[in-house]
Structure 1
Amino acid sequence: MAMRQIVDVVRDRGSRYAVSGGTVQGRAGIEAFLVELKRAKKFAKATHNTWACVLSDDGPAKGDDGEAGAGAVILKMLERAALRDHIVVVTRWYGGVHLGGDRFAHVVTAVRAYLEALPKA
């Protein structure tokens, strides 16, 4: 499984964001991807690993990992991009200051950076 990562996409008031992704097959593929991501200690210790994926066979799937609403933001962007069987995970390391609604703007920025970095078919 090829995993793409962009580390340090956004920094804001101490919080840091990264984005990772790759192709997956079904819900088991999503679980395997998340396990693989968290093998790296820094991702395992992250405050949030929010994710979304649109599966060809099973439809949309998402996880907020404590960052309420973030999975839905990622999912909407993947649906708009018509990206199927590809998980995108936005990781946040909390910096001690609440970001309020800005955190959603940072999720959008991270997903956009990831989508723009994908090779064009």
Structure 2
Amino acid sequence: MDENIERQKEEIDAISAIYQENCQCEDENFQTYNIRIADGDLIANLIVTLPPEYPSVGPPYYLLNCPWMSRKDKEELSNEIERVAESNIGESVIYQWAEKVREFLQNKGDALQKLQAEETEEEKARKQILKSIPIWTTPCPEIVSSEPFTERKSTFQGHIATVFTQDQVRQVLAKLYENRKIAQATHNIYAYRIYKEDSKSWLQDCDDDGETQAGSRLLHLLQIVNSKDVIVVVSRWFGGILLGADRFKLINNAARQVLQLGGYLEASNDTGKRKNK
């Protein structure tokens, strides 16, 4: 174990020398470090936590924090990182991981530049016209947000709105993402339930936004409290400390808090729909 500690120290010293101010210690007790990697306007944060058994037994824990990146891109990059780990058991891998992220950003930047270069004037004009056309023909449903709370450096906040159609679901999500702080959250988990009176059926779905299983758990909570015609979004800003299974409890706490604030819990035993105030 002492050998691991010494190897960790040597690796972090080397990483700090290479990345300097872009490598920051987030938590000394948990040995968590945030490495900021940039290529032009594309920025990604590689957050690593070093367990006592690293590197002799297995790799460190990691999290990719890059809100602009699509889920598909995150999965592709995560697969690359995990392949590096699998082929280097017993070795220090943080520098290789960071360089893999940098390589991914460079390739993504090159692809974007190529796409922009190929864009014709006609396409630019068409996009400008489309931007001037309003996306929504009806006002966005009222959104209620709870006060954020922080647990072990991760911050959680719930948002809720009454919705009757999938179009309103998309409208609420778009409105929330207009808020830069919410858009930059590490995860925006959501679930919704809509009761279709004409067919006597439920329209419901959820999204993890990278927080595996969190969306389905949030949807399960809505089912338990019998909420209907509602969308709940829980924003989480990761603070550098891995919370394990506790994160699901905290996400549900944020959801319950905003359900209570919006007046949905009091009505759940009756119709499951928000009270008229």
Provide TM-score, normalisation by structure 2: 0.42
Aligned residues: 120
* Residue of structure 2 in register with 1:31 after alignment: 170
Give 1:118 deviation, angstroms: 2.6
Bigger strand fraction: 1
Which residue of the other structure, out of 254, 257, 262, is the alignment partner of 1:113?
Answer: 257
Unmatched 5+ residue regions in structure 2?
A: 1-140, 197-201, 267-274
Give 1:5 deviation, angstroms: 0.2
* Residue of structure 2 in register with 1:53 after alignment: 192
Q: Distance in 2 between matches of 1:45 and 1:118?
A: 24
Q: What amino acid maps onto 1:17 in structure 2?
A: F
SS in 2 for 1:50: strand
Q: Distance in 1 between matches of 2:239 and 2:191?
A: 23
Provide TM-score, normalisation by structure 1: 0.92
Q: Distance in 2 between matches of 1:82 and 1:52?
A: 13
Q: Does the 8 A contact of 1:5 with 1:21 survive in 2?
A: yes
1:87 aligns with 2:231: yes
What is the root-mean-square deviation of aligned Cα atoms in Å? 1.3
SS in 2 for 1:66: coil
Bigger helix fraction: 2
Deviations 1:30-66 (A, max 9, x none): 1111000010110011110000011213522101100
Bigger radius of gyration among the two: 2
SS in 2 for 1:54: strand
Q: What amino acid maps onto 1:3 in structure 2?
A: I
- Give runs of aligned pairs for residues 89-104 of structure 1, distance below 5 A: 89-104=233-248
Runs of 4+ in 1 over 3 A off after TM superposition: none
Q: Distance in 2 between matches of 1:48 and 1:95?
A: 12
1:65 aligns with 2:204: no
Deviations 1:50-91 (A, max 9, x none): 000112135221011001111111111111111111000000
Q: Distance in 2 between matches of 1:93 and 1:118?
A: 22
